[in-house]
């Protein structure tokens, strides 16, 4: 297998290895969330300042998306991913041993930066895939990433409960090492066919953000969908820990594990996208996102029926988000193969900004308006995305019928 960006092709089963590696790495981004309170108490951080741990990790991730991921269009992808992952390893070890809250917070940024290696490996996998299987490959890798995201919180809570919160970051360091070994031994090198320098890449980000309508449209859909997803998983524990259900951490974790089964829809979405059904597939995904909120609207009363309703809604929502995501990435990667990494960086940056907004709105809506307020605020995300998608589809249909090109 050659290192050429155009000649290399993904070997059988390699996408599963990439998916597993990506899922393990991205979990590092969320390991701290269930144990923020314990970390704050141990390091002398007030509850308000302890929240900076999550914020700074996400900030580091967003910076990496915009400043490091685009390098995948000009640098050898495997070495780039390993270099970025090394930052995450150093940060995780630091977080596991330091007793200084300042050092811990700075290391949180490094852990976020190191986690963006998954967004280098995703376009890498798409570039090595046969064009007719690109959607399937992207779907399988995204299934790994989303499974890692969904399982990270319950795994962190269980490990911290048994071994203490520092063991969580020891696990993150081990994950980085195992991922690096897999990348080095199992993944072929790929050097993009590009002569653009870093300054040119960064300038092109602004141009793509302001002029690429496909990117703008798809980023808007995923901003709204991930806003809805994060809002749900931020507000749901508040409901389940409350008087209506009175659950403990283990019980909430089990519901989160059930919801994680929705990630299995990613490969299915990839197959649908490869058959040229991206537009109807997107329509269905966004509509199902709205349906999920209709289902969970009946889950505030408590009892066994309430648990069933909330679990079903979680599975439906966790299935709709990856389908929409895979459709978007399949369309972006196919339309602009020479810009996969930089477009993915911009796209995922908007994706996570939506998630950050959803987390804030989720807490506010529950505390001020109750579960009904959460449902209204959450359903607004996929509903708005669906309206935008239908308007865009209608306009493009009108353009085609009118005989003009865009």
State whether 41 and 169 are in the same domain.
yes
3-state secondary structure of 143: helix
Write the CB contacts of 224 (distance below 8 Å, at least 6 apart in sequence). Answer: 354, 381, 382, 384, 385, 388
Q: Which two tokens stand for residue 30?
A: 């969320």
Task: Choose among 317, 304, 314: nearest CA to 236.
Answer: 314
C-alpha 377/C-alpha 293 separation (Å) is 10
Residue 57, in any domain of the structure: yes
The CATH number of the domain holding residue 59 is 1.20.1250.20
Residue 52, in any domain of the structure: yes
pLDDT along the chain (406 residues), means of 10: 44 78 89 80 78 81 90 90 95 94 93 93 84 81 83 82 89 93 89 81 84 92 93 88 84 79 81 89 96 95 91 92 89 83 86 82 88 95 96 80 51
User: Of 143, 161, 195, which closes a domain?
Assistant: 195
Tokens 């900076």 correspond to 52
Q: Is 164 left (phi over 0), alpha (psi -120 to 50) or beta?
A: left
State whether 390 and 348 are in the same domain.
yes
Q: How many domains does the chain have?
A: 2
DSSP for 191-231 reads B-S----HHHHHHHHHHHHHH-HHHHHHHHHHHHHHHHHHH
Provide the pLDDT for residue 208. Answer: 84
Tokens 């995923």 correspond to 222
State whether 259 and 369 are in the same domain.
yes
C-alpha 330/C-alpha 19 separation (Å) is 16
State whether 221 and 176 are in the same domain.
no
C-alpha 284/C-alpha 67 separation (Å) is 34
DSSP one-letter code for 187:
S
3-state secondary structure of 51: coil
Other beta carbons less than 10 A from residue 99's beta carbon: 9
C-alpha 78/C-alpha 369 separation (Å) is 48
Residue 200, in any domain of the structure: no
State whether 276 and 216 are in the same domain.
yes
State whether 234 and 130 are in the same domain.
no
Torsion of CA 371, 377, 379, 383, to 10 degrees: 170
Tokens 């980085």 correspond to 176
Provide the pLDDT for residue 377. Answer: 95
DSSP for 245-276 reads T---HHHHHHHHHHHGGGGGHHHHHHHHHHTT
Residue 312, in any domain of the structure: yes
Residue 67 domain boundaries: 13-195
Provide the pLDDT for residue 7. Answer: 39
State whether 236 and 383 are in the same domain.
yes
C-alpha 37/C-alpha 39 separation (Å) is 5
State whether 185 and 252 are in the same domain.
no
Dmax (CA) for the chain in angstroms is: 67
C-alpha 21/C-alpha 85 separation (Å) is 11
Provide the pLDDT for residue 405. Answer: 42
Residue 226, in any domain of the structure: yes
Give me the residues paired with residue 4 across strands: 191
Q: Which two tokens stand for residue 128?
A: 């090595």
Give me the residues paired with residue 191 across strands: 4
3-state secondary structure of 300: coil
C-alpha 320/C-alpha 274 separation (Å) is 18
Q: What is the pTM of this model?
A: 0.79
State whether 94 and 188 are in the same domain.
yes
Task: Answer whether 203's CB lies under 8 Å from 66's CB.
Answer: no
User: Of 165, 195, 225, which closes a domain?
Assistant: 195
State whether 215 and 185 are in the same domain.
no
């Amino acid at each position: 297998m050659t290192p050429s960006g155009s000649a290399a092709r993904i070997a059988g089963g390699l996408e599963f290895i990439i998916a597993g590696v990506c899922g393990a790495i991205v979990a590092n981004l969320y390991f701290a969330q269930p144990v923020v309170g314990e970390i704050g108490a141990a390091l002398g951080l007030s509850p308000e300042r302890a929240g900076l741990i999550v914020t700074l990790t996400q900030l580091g991730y967003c910076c990496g998306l915009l400043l490091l991921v685009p390098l995948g269009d000009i640098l050898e992808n495997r070495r780039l991913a390993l270099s970025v992952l090394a930052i995450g390893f150093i940060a995780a070890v630091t977080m596991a041993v330091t007793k200084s809250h300042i050092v811990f917070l700075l290391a949180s940024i490094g852990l976020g930066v190191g986690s963006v290696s998954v967004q280098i490996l995703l376009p890498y996998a798409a570039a090595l895939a046969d064009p007719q299987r690109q959607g399937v490959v992207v779907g399988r890798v995204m299934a790994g990433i989303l499974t890692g995201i969904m399982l990270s919180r319950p795994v962190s809570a269980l490990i911290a409960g048994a071994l203490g919160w520092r063991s969580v970051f020891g696990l993150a360091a081990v994950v980085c090492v195992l991922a690096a070994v897999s990348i080095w031994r199992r993944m072929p090198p790929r050097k993009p066919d590009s002569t653009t320098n870093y300054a040119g890449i960064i300038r092109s980000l602004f141009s793509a953000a302001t002029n690429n309508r496909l990117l703008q449209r798809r980023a808007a859909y995923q901003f709204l969908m991930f806003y809805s997803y994060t809002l749900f998983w931020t507000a749901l524990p508040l409901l389940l820990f409350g008087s209506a259900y009175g659950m403990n951490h283990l019980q909430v974790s089990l519901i989160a594990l059930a919801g994680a089964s929705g990630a299995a829809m990613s490969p299915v979405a990839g197959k649908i996208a490869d058959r040229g059904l991206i537009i109807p597939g997107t329509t269905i995904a966004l509509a199902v996102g709205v349906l999920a909120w209709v289902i969970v609207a009946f889950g505030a009363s408590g009892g066994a029926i309430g648990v069933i309703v909330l679990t079903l809604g979680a599975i439906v929502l966790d299935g709709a988000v990856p389908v929409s995501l895979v459709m978007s990435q399949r369309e972006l990667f196919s339309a602009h193969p020479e810009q996969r990494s930089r477009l993915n960086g911009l796209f995922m940056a908007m994706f996570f900004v939506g998630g950050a907004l959803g987390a804030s709105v989720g807490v506010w809506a529950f505390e001020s308006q109750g579960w009904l307020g959460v449902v209204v605020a959450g359903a607004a995300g996929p509903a708005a995305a669906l309206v935008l998608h239908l308007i865009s589809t209608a306009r493009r249909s009108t353009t085609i019928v009118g005989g003009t090109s865009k």
